A = this chain, B = another copy of it.
């Protein structure tokens, strides 16, 4: 069976790996340790500290930067047709020094092109940006868009940006100009309505609320209407809340659309046409629950399979999607929905 994995996190061994790709003065800043990279404000309680415990190099050290380990554990083990690289370094998290942030995004994109994309034709690439400087982000999208493996722009979900605000329009304009998908993925800054809560498990349980808030913001502020060929995918943000959000937004739209006259379609219609979701973390549902849920979504084209490799809550394609689902539905989740989104064809053998 053909298989697209929509959420695979490549990384570097350390921030200094970006030094060869950085422009001055930022190269010198990182070289001398002026900034040491991001660190999450909580302890990961899983044995692999956020990653699968078995994602290791030969010497036992954690491996997130080794293509060979990923190839063996992921692409070859599951015979993946394509794996979409989504990064694990989101410069938008830097709230100060937007010049540094934009330079880091560019350096990371060049690092990924050389150390990951070039090594395997199965990789699909994403453009990292500094969303806090939307014009600079648009220039970075323009710079990277011609790469033949690059198909999307990563929009990192942080604690203080709802992307429906008009200031972010240059990002969407650039993505539409180059026919790139917009992918939303949380970062370690993402929060729920009252911040992160008091434990990591709370913060992790709250992540879907930040994705709901982004969808609400994008649709009600007219991004779907304003960029009619742009398509979106929610990565690692859950999907079983989708029936609720479609119903809720449609009710709100029917009763309150006078306030947002630029929204020209029922929100649920916008979603069915243009919004997709990666499956991981798939919840523990029976086949019957999957079918009821998809029926309530009103479309079997929403879901695109993903593993979230190498993270601790990895979804194995052999068990996370019930084998009892109809073959054509499985084919849509594992292949067709993702292939349609990214414009991919089955490789010639």
The yes or no answer to A29 lying at the interface (CB within 8 A) is no
Give the interface centre of A220, A248, A313 by most chain B CB atoms within 10 Å: A248
Known: A45-B258, A220-B202. Is A244-B238 also a contact (CB below 8 A)? yes
Of residues A200, A250, A251, which shows the largest number of chain B Cβ atoms within 10 Å of its Cβ?
A: A251
**A249 interface contact, C-beta 8 A:** yes
Q: Residues of B contacting A198 with CB < 8 Å?
A: 162, 164-165, 217, 221
> Which residues does chain B contribute within 8 Å of A253, judged by CB atoms?
201
Given contacts A243-B240, A285-B247, contact A252 B217 (CB under 8 A): no
Q: How far is the CA of A140 from the CA of B221 in the complex (A)?
A: 43
Residues of B within 8 A of A256 (CB): 45-46, 200-201, 204
Chain B residues with CB under 8 A of A201:
220, 252-253, 256-257, 259-260
User: Which of A103-111, A207-215, A329-337 lines the interface with chain B?
Assistant: A207-215
A200 touches which of B159, B192, B259, B284 (Cβ 8 Å): B259
A251's partner among B46, B161, B162, B281 (CB-CB below 8 A) is: B281
Given A192-B193, A254-B284, A217 contacting B243 (CB threshold 8 A): no
Contact with B along A35-66 (1 / 0, CB 8 A): 00000000001100000000000000000000
Contact yes or no, A213 B199, CB < 8 A: no
| Interface membership of A206, Cβ < 8 A | yes
Copies per assembly: 2
Q: Which of B161, B192, B251, B284 is in CB contact (< 8 Å) with A247?
A: B284
Expressed in whole angstroms, the minimum distance between the Cβ of A209 and any Cβ of chain B is 4
A309 to nearest B CB, angstroms? 16
Give CA–CA (A220, B192) in the complex, Å. 14
A15 CB–B CB distance under 8 Å: no
> Given A213-B193, A295-B292: A204 and B165 within 8 A (CB)?
no
Cα of A194 to Cα of B215 in the assembled complex, Å: 12
A327 within 8 A of B: no
- Which of B161, B193, B248 touches A210 (beta carbons < 8 Å)? B193
> Is A241 an interface position by the 8 A CB rule?
yes
Tell me if A283 is interfacial: C-beta within 8 Å of chain B. Answer: yes
Q: Is A296 an interface residue (CB 8 A)?
A: yes
A293 within 8 A of B: yes
Contact between chains at B46 and A255 (CB < 8 Å): yes
* Residue from the list B206, B284, B293 in contact with A250, Cβ < 8 A: B284
Q: Is there a chain B Cβ closer than 8 Å to A289's Cβ? A: yes
A197 within 8 A of B: yes
Give residues of chain A (274-322) contacting chain B, Cβ–Cβ below 8 Å. Answer: 281, 283-285, 289, 292-293, 295-296, 312-313
A5 at interface (Cβ–Cβ under 8 A)?
no
Q: Please name 18 pairs of A and B residues whose Cβ atoms are closer than 8 Å in the assembled complex, sorted by A.
A: A45-B258, A160-B194, A191-B193, A192-B216, A193-B193, A193-B212, A197-B213, A197-B217, A201-B252, A201-B253, A201-B260, A202-B216, A208-B244, A209-B209, A209-B212, A238-B244, A240-B243, A254-B284
Chain A residues in contact with chain B, CB under 8 A? 45-46, 159-162, 164-165, 190-195, 197-202, 204-206, 208-210, 212-213, 216-217, 220-221, 238, 240-241, 243-245, 247-260, 281, 283-285, 289, 292-293, 295-296, 312-313
